Amino acid sequence: MRKAFIAGNWKMYKSIPEAVSLVQVIRAGVHTVQDVDIVVCPPFTALAAVNEALKDSNIDLGAQDMYSETEGAFTGEISPLMLKDVGCRYVILGHSERRQYFGETDGLVNKKLKTAIKFNLIPIVCIGETLAERDAGKAKEVVANQFEGSFQGLTAEEFERLIIAYEPVWAIGTGRTATPQQAQEMHGLIRSFLKDRLGDTVERVRILYGGSVKPENISELMAEPDVDGALVGGASIKGESFIQIVRGSLLEAKGSGKVSSS
C-alpha cells in the first residue's frame, strides 16, 4: 500500500516574492488533502522564504540538487546539512538536466544519494532514457544500467528511504507524455529490479513518473499499478494546475486502493 506522492520541480524559475505567492496559492488549494505526500522544490535562493510560508502546512520542502560532501572548499555547491538547515526534507538527485548539461554520472548520483540518506534527507532519484535511446530499442537497457550505477551498494534499508522517478528525457518539457502503458512498462521493470534487491519490502518503495504531467493526464497515469505519483516540472509552477494534479492523483489513488495511512 503506497501513499500517492506529488512533487513540483520548479527548476530555475521564480524570484523570492514569486515563489512565496505561488506557494501560498498551492497551500490554500491543497490544505484539505490528506492522502497525498505533497512536495515543492523551489530554487535554492527561495528555499528559506518558501519554508517559512509552508509552516504548519501539509506540504514539504525539497531541493533540486546537492553535493555529496558535508562541507569544504567546493565553491558554488550546497551540502545536505545546509539543506536540512533551511528546512528541506527531500532532495531531487540525478535529474536528466543535471546529467545532460552538468555532466553528472551515475557514480556521482550514487555518492550524493548515499550522503543524502545518511543525513536523513529523502532523495528523489531520477532515471530515464533519451529519445535516441528509445528509438534504438535501448530504453530498458539504459534504465537498467542507470539503476545499477545509481543504486550501487545500497542496502535494503537504504532503498526504503528513497523515492525513484522514472523520467523519460523525451517527455520532459516537450508536451509529449509517455502513455500510461509506456510508463507502466518501465515502472514494472524498475520494480522488478527492486524486487531482486529487496524481496517483498519492494512494495513500500514509491516510483514516480515525470515528463509533461498535467491535470489532464495525471489520473490515467496514476491508474497504472506501479505509478505511485509524479515529479512535475512545467505544470508545477502554475498554482492551479499543480493543485489539480494533486487532487487528480488522490482520486485515482483512492480508486485503486494505493492509499496507506503510513
Residue number of the CB atom closest to ligand PGA: 233
Decide: 46 and 87 in contact? Cβ < 8 Å: no
Question: Nearest CA to 81 among 72, 46, 92, 60?
Answer: 72
Query: Is the CB of 33 or the CB of 232 nearer to ligand PGA?
Result: 232
Inter-CA distances, 211 with 150, 217, 244, Å: 20, 11, 16
232 near ligand PGA, rule: CB under 6 A: yes
Identify the residue among 2, 4, 9, 247 touching ligand PGA (CB under 6 A).
9
Helix (H, G, I), strand (E, B) or coil at 168: coil
Active site residue 167: yes
Q: Which stretch binds ligand PGA (CB under 6 A): 26-34, 192-200, 218-226, 227-235?
A: 227-235
Identify the residue among 115, 212, 217, 219 touching ligand PGA (CB under 6 A).
212
231 near ligand PGA, rule: CB under 6 A: yes
The Cα 183–Cα 168 span in angstroms is 9
The Cα 28–Cα 15 span in angstroms is 20
Quickly tell me which residue has 552538468 as its cell. 102
Strand partners, 40: 8, 61
Decide: 232 and 242 in contact? Cβ < 8 Å: yes
Identify the residue among 210, 229, 239, 248 touching ligand PGA (CB under 6 A).
210
Spell out, one character per residue from 164 to 203, where the chain touches ligand PGA: x when CB under 6 A holds, - when not. ---x----xx------------------------------
Q: Which three cell numbers stand for residue 154?
A: 545500497
Task: State the amino acid at position 131 in one-letter form.
Answer: L
Catalytic residue among 104, 129, 133, 167: 167
Report in angstroms how near the CB of residue 164 gets to ligand PGA at its nearest: 13
Please give the angle made by the CA atoms of 126, 123 and 114, to the nearest 5 degrees: 105
Q: Which stretch binds ligand PGA (CB under 6 A): 30-38, 69-77, 156-164, 226-234?
A: 226-234
Decide: 230 and 221 in contact? Cβ < 8 Å: yes
6 near ligand PGA, rule: CB under 6 A: no
218 near ligand PGA, rule: CB under 6 A: no
Active site residue 187: no
What number of residues does the chain have?
262
Query: Is the CB of 167 or the CB of 224 nearer to ligand PGA?
Result: 167
By CB under 6 A, name the binding residues for ligand PGA: 9, 167, 172-173, 210-213, 231-235
Residues serving a catalytic function are: 95, 167
